Structure formats: structure tokens, C-alpha cells
Amino acid sequence: MASLSFSKRENSTWELETKLYEFVTEYVQPSSTTIASDAAAKINEWAKESQSANDLENFLWQTWGLVIEIAEQIPCDHPAQERLVHLIQALRKLPPQTVRVWDEDLRLWEDLPLLGPNLREAWNLVPSDKPSPSEVNEWVSLNSFTARLLALGGVPWYNFAIWSLREGLEEECPETAVDCHLAVAREWFRHSGPVLRQQATVAETKEERMLAGGSLYQGPAKLCPERWTFWKERLDQIGRQEGNAGKDAVNVKEIMDQVEAA
């Protein structure tokens, strides 16, 4: 498989930025022989160079920012997406060390401190109603990466799935953005559909304001059977349309059907 091309780092103000970026982009290449555990150990070595809690926080924030930037540049169906997720898995398997991050005691790397907040920053950049091809590719890739992370377990990041699916299935979506939102839905149900389905059946899940529905969905503000069913009904509606959008919606709904039948 051909090598991936990544953007260049320029005018970096963080000493490790270029080194870390080049290390991870080389690791995810199809030709790389570096195993995930070795890559994780190297990143952990750099983390240990932090002289204070503030230094570690800065290291983690910058590191996750680079990981997200790299994920956005990897096509959603490229094996490098899995390579990147394997790196996250390997980091979580390192011997745990309690660290103080944002005035909270967390385990490095098991709790993936600051990755959640970093992803939340990335979710502020939802594509416009007329997204460019590059915007579409980056958004779909980011959602694909995050869906794979959710499937690993141990990270309660259902909000990212709900926010993306709300944008695409719970609002009247402009025709110019339908393909993008359906591609995002496909990635969520393809990679973390079983996790989402299981969570939807947990009766004790509480409603949260930040998980409120879009204008078309009037059900509980949480991941629940009503919401899952609504998504399927919306896909069924879109699937009756002619053209690529209709075909894509049918495909996504079939993935949800397969999750239910498993």
C-alpha cells in the first residue's frame, strides 16, 4: 500500500512537537515495522522528561492535539487508522502511574488524561453546510478514529457519537452536507455500533442537557432505545430518496440491523 502523505510542521514553539509528529506519522505508515508497544514506550519516555505537573499537562495536551491532527489526515478506510488506535491501546497497557492533571488524580496512560477535552475542542469544528472535500475527509476520519476508541471500552465518550449523529440525523440536513453526515454515521455504527447499542439499553443512564436532541428528535436527552429507533427511522426516510444519499442511508441502516441481530 502506498505511503501516506502528512502536512509538514512549521514554526513550532514546542521543542518536542516536530520530533513527536514525525515519530507518530512514521509509525502509522504501511511500511513501518515499529510495533505499537515500542512506540508507546518511546512516547512514555518523552512524557517522563516533564519536570512538573504543569509540564506534563502541556505535554499531554500537545501530544493529543498532534494525534488528532494525524487521525484527521488518515482516510477512514486506511489501515493506518487501526495502527493509530493500536498505539492508544499500547499506551493504556503501560504500567499505571498516578499523576495530577487539572487538579485531579488520574492514571497515566490508562485514563488517557486530557484526550477527552482535546477531542471536545476538535468537535467545535463541525463542517459547514457546504463542506469542501478536505473538510469532509477530515471530519469523517476524526469520527472514525473516535468511534474506534469508544469500541476499546473504558472511555465514556458516547457524547461524541450523539453530537455527530444529532447533527446528521436529528436536524434537517442541507443537501450539500448529507453525504458527509451519512459517512460519519456509517463510521460510528461500523466501529462502535455494539457499544452504542448496549449503552442504549442501560435503563439507569441519566439524561444530560448536553445530550439534548436536535429539532426533529423529541425523546430523552441520552442514548436510549427511543433515540436508536429514531435514527433508524430517519435513515429509512433518507433511504427512500434517489441518488447516492439514499443508497448510503440504506447501507448505514443495514449496519444498525446487523448490530441488533448480533
What pLDDT is stored for residue 14 in this prediction?
Answer: 79
Q: What is the pLDDT of residues 144-157, one digit of tens each?
A: 999 999 999 888 88
Which pLDDT belongs to residue 203?
66
- Same-domain check for residues 58 and 142: no
**Residue 78: domain span:** 1-122
Same domain flag for 71 and 21: yes
**Within 13 A of 186's CA, how many CA atoms are on the CB side?**
18
Domain co-membership, 118 together with 23: yes
Structural domains counted in the chain = 2
Contact of 177 with 130, CB cutoff 8 Å: yes
175 neighbors 240 (Cβ within 8 angstroms): no
pLDDT along the chain (262 residues), means of 10: 86 84 97 97 96 93 97 97 97 95 94 96 90 96 98 89 97 93 98 96 85 96 97 97 94 98 92
Specify whether 132 is located in the same domain as 117: no
Please report the pLDDT score of residue 10 as a whole number: 73
Prediction pTM value: 0.96
> Ramachandran region of residue 28, left (φ > 0), alpha (ψ -120 to 50) or beta?
alpha
> Which residues neighbour 96 within 8 Å (Cβ) at sequence distance 6 or greater?
107, 108, 109, 110
Within this chain, do residues 11 and 135 fall inside the same structural domain, yes or no? Answer: no
Identify the DSSP state of 221. S
The verdict on 66 and 135 lying in the same domain is no
Spatial separation of the C-alpha atoms in residues 256 and 218, rounded to whole Å: 21
